[in-house]
Structures are given as C-alpha cells and as structure tokens.
C-alpha cells in the first residue's frame, strides 16, 4: 500500500464553490472566467499578455505555429524533457535538433546551442526543467545574435524566479519571445488540464487567440455582446485548443494559493537537501545563484552503477511512490527513425538507434535519477520516511 504518494494537488472546497458558480452562470467555455484568469495570470508573472489554452502541449504548438515554424524548418531544443516538448515541434512538421543538458540540473547547455543552429533554424525551444529556471541570461544573447526567437517551455515553472539585471523576476514575463505553462495536476497550479501562453507582443497574442479558436475572426464574447449581426470568417488554419470557463474558475482560486504553495515547497526542498545530503553518494539538485526553483519535482541522483528499477521497487515495497527522472525523447520508439537529429547531423554522429553520444548527460540523468514524493501538504515525518527508505534501499 502506498503511504506517501508522489504528488497531491492543492484542491479543496474553495475551487468547488467557484466551479458551482460558473456552472450555474450558464457560460461554461472560453468566456468571462477565462478572460479574468488571463488578466490575473498576466499580472502574477508580470507579462503584458496571457492567452489560455487547453494544455501546455497545445500552448507549445500554438507558440511555434504563431512564429511561423513549419515543414523543412528546424527547432533547437532538448531531448531530455517530457516528450511533449519535442512532439510540439513535430506537430508543425519541423525537425527537432536536440542538444544536451547540464549533468546536475538537467537544463539545456547554453554552450551547446550555437553548434546546433543552421540556416533552417526557426526557433529555440528551451525548458525550465522540473521548475528549475534554465540560464536565460546566457541563452538569450546567443539567440538575439542570430535573430532567432526563443520559446520557453515553462510547463513546470509557475512561481519560479530568475535574476535578471540584479532583479528577481518570475518566469513568464516572458524573457524569451513566448512562455508556455501547464496546469496538469502534476504541476503546482492545476485546472485538471490547461495551459497558458504569455508574450510581450500584441501581434503574437492576437495570433494565439486565432489559432486556439479555429482561426475564427470574432470571439464568442464579441459576437454575444454585439448589437448588430456579426458574420465570422476563418482566416487561418486553426484548432480547438480552448480552456473552459469551468477550468478557469479553478485556476483563479489556484493562483491565489500559489505564493503559499511555492513557499511551502521551498521549505520542503531545503529539508530534503539536508536529509538526502547525508546519504553517501546521493546527488541532490543544485540551484544556481541566479535561480529560485518552485520545486515542482524533486529528483535525486543515485550512486553510479545503482540499479534504478531495483531501488524504485524497494521504495514502492516500503510504501513510497517514486518515478524515473526526466526521460529522453530520442530513446523512445516514436523517435527511433528520422524525425530528429543531433548537432552533427543525421547519421553523422555514429550513434545507435535510441542512443546518442552528444546527448549522454540526459541519458545518464534518465537512468540514474529518481523523482521522490513532493507536495505542499507533506509532513516532516513523511519526508524523513522517504529519505530513510532510500537509504535502506541503497544499503540493501
Ligand atoms: C508537463 C509538461 C508538458 C506538457 O504539459 P501538458 O499541460 O500536460 O500538455 C510539457 N513540457 C514539460 C517540460 C512538462 O513537464
């Protein structure tokens, strides 16, 4: 029996009451509640524009489509991420060009980006992995020098902060051209499923709104409020990527809880550092001095040569849920043939299917790290039980 789950969303009667109100209002999808959520979200992260969509995966697709990424283009990104990052590139018809990650925190190596850029590169898609900000201060000048837009996959990073010009700023202002968030239950703020795009650009924001709503020229709100008959038109190929008003109502309550949830998780992470730091040869995450994580997921690196599956099974036997660390898209069957390449070009790196020596840090993190339970309501006793179970499993 599981006594400590991996995650637990911070939902209670406050969300239930708001959902009730919206259902009884008679307007249940992309309406006033979505508009209010967008405005409050924009204010929270410090962004001029926020556009809600159905998930972070659809946010990433919309972001790339709005930048004009399409067939025969390339997008520089990481393989070491949730598979949705690379999939979003493929939805546009473009080829993901994978670069490696830092061996400790799993974020894109800024120094590896330039070698992956070609005349076909249309965007750089970076990830704030597990909530830890990537090094935007190093990445953005590289992109700017080449005139290539940057999309941030901030699926996990709501409430995380980065130091820019001596000031702490929330992820999502955005620092790149577009920032994408997820509201899946594994993330800090959940609406069941849901996502958000933020940008400085009114032009990009306008494109997001077209693409999420079938490319339709007028919104339902505008048509509903009009005094005269309005005929819509479909200007571009769009999608149904709408967030519902029911979900937005949940999101608004969650947003109010967020500062407290982030503070709680930072305290939990500090205690975990202390507990795991005492276990010989176990590696803990390291926060660069310019970054503050929201600790969406806490992973530990196992001693080299440890059988990851065996440790996870022992912990499960002790009632502690764990997951593998972040996986690598290029090792999955869906990426076995062709649809990606590394910086050396297809076939030229001499790698076997499912493995690439240029992506070795990510592969090692996938095989050698585990995510341990982390949720805002976690007790000290639960954290101690997790650390004790890991230590016992390693000594077993
Ligand atoms: C969770 C996650 C996604 C996908 O988010 P959804 O809202 O489930 O589509 C994308 N990228 C990363 C890095 C994630 O962790």
Domain stop point among 221, 256, 291: 256
- Atom index in ligand 1 nearest the CA of residue 59 equals 9
- Atom index in ligand 1 nearest the CA of residue 88 equals 10
Residues 314 and 214 reside in one and the same domain: no
| Any domain includes 198 | yes
CB atoms inside a 10 Å sphere around CB 78: 29
Average pLDDT, the chain: 95
pLDDT for 256: 98
Residues 26 and 174 reside in one and the same domain: yes
Contact 178, 277 (CB under 8 A): no
pLDDT for 346: 64
How far is ligand 1, taken at its centre, from the CA of residue 213, in Å?
21
Domain stop point among 227, 256, 285: 256
Q: Of these residues, 146, 187, 257, 264, which one is catalytic?
A: 187
- pLDDT above 80: residue 347: no
| Any domain includes 6 | no
CATH of residue 343's domain is 3.90.1150.10
| Any domain includes 335 | yes
pLDDT for 47: 98
Residues 251 and 263 reside in one and the same domain: no
- pLDDT above 90: residue 304: yes
Mutation pick for ligand 1 pocket among 155, 251, 293 (CB with most ligand atoms within 8 Å):
155
How far is ligand 1, taken at its centre, from the CA of residue 298, in Å?
16
The answer to which of 21-35, 217-231, 254-268, 311-325 has the lowest mean pLDDT is 217-231
Residues 235 and 268 reside in one and the same domain: no
User: What would the two tokens of residue 318 be?
Assistant: 């002790």
Side-chain half-sphere of 252: how many Cα atoms within 13 Å? 23
| Phi, psi of 122, deg, nearest 5 | -110, -15
| Phi, psi of 254, deg, nearest 5 | -60, -40
Residues 265 and 363 reside in one and the same domain: yes
**Overall domain count for the chain:** 2
User: What would the two tokens of residue 352 be?
Assistant: 């076997």
| Any domain includes 376 | yes
| Any domain includes 214 | yes
- pLDDT above 90: residue 268: yes
Residues 250 and 324 reside in one and the same domain: no
| Any domain includes 8 | no
| Any domain includes 5 | no
Higher pLDDT, 88 or 336: 88
Residues 310 and 232 reside in one and the same domain: no
Range of the domain at 335: 258-395
Q: Which residues line ligand 1 (CB under 6 A)?
A: 55-57, 81-82, 84-85, 127, 153, 155-156, 182, 184, 195
Cα–Cα nearest to 100, from 91, 92, 109: 109
Residue 207 bears catalytic tag:
no
- Atom index in ligand 1 nearest the CA of residue 193 equals 7
The answer to which of 81-85, 256-260, 336-340 has the lowest mean pLDDT is 336-340
User: What would the two tokens of residue 17 be?
Assistant: 């009451």
Mutation pick for ligand 1 pocket among 81, 83, 84 (CB with most ligand atoms within 8 Å):
84
Residues 51 and 178 reside in one and the same domain: yes
How far is ligand 1, taken at its centre, from the CA of residue 162, in Å?
20
Question: Which residue has the least CA distance to atom 6 on ligand 1?
Answer: 56
| Any domain includes 1 | no
Domain stop point among 256, 271, 300: 256
Residues 183 and 221 reside in one and the same domain: yes
- Give the chain as a 3 state SS string: CCCECCCCCCCCHHHHHHHHHHHHHCCCECCHHHHHHHHHHHHHHCCCEEEEECCHHHHHHHHHHHCCCCCCCEEEEECECCCHHHHHHHHCCCEEEEECECCCCCCECHHHHHHHCCCCEEEEEEECHHHCCCCHHHHHHHHHHHCCCEEEECCCCCCCEEEECCEEEECCCCCCCEEEEECCCCCCCCCCCCEEEEECCHHHHHHHHHHHECCECCCHHHHHHCCCCCCCCECCCCCECCCEHHHHHHHHHHHHHHHHHHHHHHHHHHHHHHHHHCCCCCECCCCCCCEECCCCCEEEECCCCCCHHHHHHHHHHCCECCEECCCEHHHCHHHCCCCCEECCCCCCCCCCCCCCHHHHHHHHHHHHEEEECCCCCCCHHHHHHHHHHHHHHHHC
- pLDDT above 80: residue 338: no
Residues 233 and 343 reside in one and the same domain: no
Residues 213 and 325 reside in one and the same domain: no
For the segment 95-126, what is each residue's pLDDT rounded down to a tens digit? 999 999 999 999 999 999 999 999 999 999 99
CATH of residue 82's domain is 3.40.640.10
Question: Which residue has the least CA distance to atom 1 on ligand 1?
Answer: 155
- pLDDT above 80: residue 37: yes
pLDDT for 307: 96
Cα–Cα nearest to 177, from 221, 120, 102, 124: 124
For the segment 349-373, what is each residue's pLDDT rounded down to a tens digit? 767 777 899 999 999 999 999 999 9
How far is ligand 1, taken at its centre, from the CA of residue 56, in Å?
5
- Atom index in ligand 1 nearest the CA of residue 128 equals 13
How far is ligand 1, taken at its centre, from the CA of residue 114, in Å?
25
Residues 249 and 264 reside in one and the same domain: no
- Atom index in ligand 1 nearest the CA of residue 187 equals 1
Q: Compute and round to an integer the Cα radius of gyration of the chain.
A: 21
Q: Is the pTM of this model over 0.95?
A: yes
How far is ligand 1, taken at its centre, from the CA of residue 82, in Å?
6
- pLDDT above 80: residue 18: yes
């Amino acid at each position: 029996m599981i006594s400590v789950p991996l995650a637990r969303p911070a939902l209670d009667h406050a969300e239930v009451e708001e959902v009730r109100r919206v259902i009884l209002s008679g307007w249940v999808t992309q309406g006033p509640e979505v508009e209010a959520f967008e405005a409050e979200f924009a204010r929270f992260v410090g962004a001029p524009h926020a556009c809600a969509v159905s998930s972070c995966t659809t946010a990433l697709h919309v972001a790339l489509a709005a930048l004009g990424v399409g067939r025969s283009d390339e997008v520089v990104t990481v393989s070491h991420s949730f598979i949705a990052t690379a999939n979003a590139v493929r939805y546009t018809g473009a080829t993901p060009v994978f670069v490696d990650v830092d061996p400790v925190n799993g974020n894109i190596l800024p120094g590896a980006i330039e070698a992956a850029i070609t005349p076909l590169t249309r965007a750089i898609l970076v990830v704030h992995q597990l909530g830890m900000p990537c090094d935007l201060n190093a990445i953005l000048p590289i992109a700017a020098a080449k005139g290539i837009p940057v999309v941030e996959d901030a699926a996990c990073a709501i409430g995380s902060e980065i130091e820019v010009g001596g000031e702490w700023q929330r992820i999502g202002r955005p620092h790149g051209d577009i920032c994408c968030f997820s509201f899946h239950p594994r993330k800090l703020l959940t609406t069941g499923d849901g996502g958000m795009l933020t940008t400085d650009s009114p032009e990009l924001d306008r494109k997001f709104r077209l693409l999420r709503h079938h490319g339709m020229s007028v919104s339902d709100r505008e048509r509903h409020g009009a005094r005269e008959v309005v005929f819509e038109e479909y200007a571009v190929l769009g999608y149904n990527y709408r967030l519902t008003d029911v979900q937005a109502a949940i999101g608004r309550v969650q947003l109010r809880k967020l500062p407290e949830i982030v503070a709680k998780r930072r305290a939990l992470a500090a205690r975990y550092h202390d507990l795991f730091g005492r276990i010989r040869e176990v590696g803990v995450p390291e926060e660069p001095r310019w970054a503050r994580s929201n600790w969406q997921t806490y992973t530990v690196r196992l001693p080299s040569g440890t059988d990851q599956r065996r440790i996870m099974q022992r912990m499960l036997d002790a009632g502690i849920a764990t997951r593998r660390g972040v996986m690598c898209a290029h090792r999955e069957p869906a990426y076995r043939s062709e649809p990606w390449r590394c910086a050396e070009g297809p076939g030229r790196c001499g790698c076997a299917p499912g493995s690439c020596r240029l992506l070795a840090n990510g592969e090692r993190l996938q095989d050698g790290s585990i995510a341990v339970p982390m949720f805002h309501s976690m007790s000290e006793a639960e954290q101690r039980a997790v650390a004790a179970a890991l230590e016992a499993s390693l000594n077993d």
